[in-house]
Amino acid sequence: MATTPRPRRSCLAVPGSSPKMLDKAQGLPADQVFLDLEDAVAPAAKPAARRNVVAALTTGQWVDKTRVVRVNDATTGWAYRDVLEVVEGAGESLDCLMLPKVRDAAQVRWLDLTLGQLERALGLPVGGIGIEAQIETPDGLVGVDAIAAASSRLETLVFGPADFMAALGMPSLAVGVLNPDYPGDPFHYPLMRILVAAKAHHRQAIDGPFLQIRDLAGFGESARRSAALGFDGKWVLHPDQIAVANEVFTPGQAEFDRAELILAAYAHHTSAAGGARGAAMLGDEMIDEASRKLAQSVVTRGRAAGLRRPAPQAGAPDQA
C-alpha cells in the first residue's frame, strides 16, 4: 500500500477496447484513470483490449495520474489472463489493479498472492502494485470488513451501485439517482458500511458512477452526498464530470485555511510555551484533540489537492 494515499477525487473509467479514448484520457485532469477490461469490454474484444491497455500504459504520458486497470471478476475465465498479461507487459507502469465484484476476502488474497509471484518473477518491487476492491454484491457488503483487512496492498474500497441494485432487485434503471418513491437515500447503508470498513483499515473509500452523464447537476448532488459522509472520491464516466468531482472532494479555501489555523493554534496551546493546555479557545470556538483530528483530515485532503494557506500579511492578526 502506498505510504501516502494517492489522491482519487475523480476516478475516470476508460474502456480498454478504445485506443482513441485511452489516448484522450492521458490529457484529462482526473486524479486517477482506470483502464477497463471488465464491463466496458465485450467478451470477444477482451484479448485485444489487454494489448491496448499494455500499449497505453507503456507508451502513454500519464503525468500526475494514478494508473489502474480493472480486470475481470475473479470467478470468470478472463481474470487470470488479465492479471498475467497486464503485469508482465506493463507492471512498471501500473499503480493498482481493480478487482470487481469482490465477494469475500479470499478473492483479494488470491490477487495479492498472484501479484507477489509476478513481481518476484519480473524483478519488480514486491508489494508495489496496489489493489482496489469493488463492492457490488450483497455477499461482498456482508464481508466488507474482512475484505478491507485481506491485504496490505489494498488501497481502496469502491462501491459499485449498478450491480448492487440489480442484485437486490431495486426497481430502478437510474444508477446513482434517488428513488422518489423511497423517503430517504437507499444507498446510505451500503455507502456507510463500505466507508466504515475502509477507514477502520486505513483505506480510501470511493463512490461509484452516476450514469446520466449529461446531468451535471445530478452528478454534483450524488457526489456531495458521498463527500458529506467522508468518501475520498467518485467515479467519472465523462470528461465533463471531472471538474465537478474535483471541486466537490476538495475543501474550500476558507475551510482549509480555518483547519490550518486550528492545527497551529492547538499545537501552540498544548506546548509548554502555550500553557500545555488540552483545550483552548480559538475565537468563539473551543478546540481540543478531537478538533485537531477533524482539522487534520481537512488539511490532508486539501494539501493532496494542492491547496496552500496564504502567508499572513505583515502586521495582520493570524485569525479566521
pLDDT at residue number 312:
60
User: How would you classify the pairing of strands 66-70 and 96-99?
Assistant: parallel
> 186: phi > 0 → left, psi -120 to 50 → alpha, else beta; which?
alpha
Q: Which three cell numbers stand for residue 109?
A: 488474497
The amino acid at residue 309 is R
Distance, CA of 160 to CA of 207 (rounded, Å): 8
User: How would you classify the pairing of strands 285-287 and 280-282?
Assistant: antiparallel
262 within 8 A of 291, measured Cβ to Cβ: yes
Q: What is the mean pLDDT of residues 130-149?
A: 98
pLDDT beyond 70 at 281: yes
Q: Which three cell numbers stand for residue 142?
A: 456482508
Residues 6+ apart with CB under 8 A from 31: 6, 7, 8, 9, 10, 11, 65, 66, 233, 246
Distance, CA of 302 to CA of 191 (rounded, Å): 23
Query: pLDDT of 99-121, one tens digit each?
Result: 999 999 999 999 999 999 999 99
3-state secondary structure of 210: coil
pLDDT at residue number 272:
86
Distance, CA of 174 to CA of 157 (rounded, Å): 22
Local confidence band at 233 (pLDDT 50, 70, 90 cut-offs): very high
pLDDT at residue number 1:
43
Residues 6+ apart with CB under 8 A from 290: none
Q: Which three cell numbers stand for residue 2?
A: 502506498
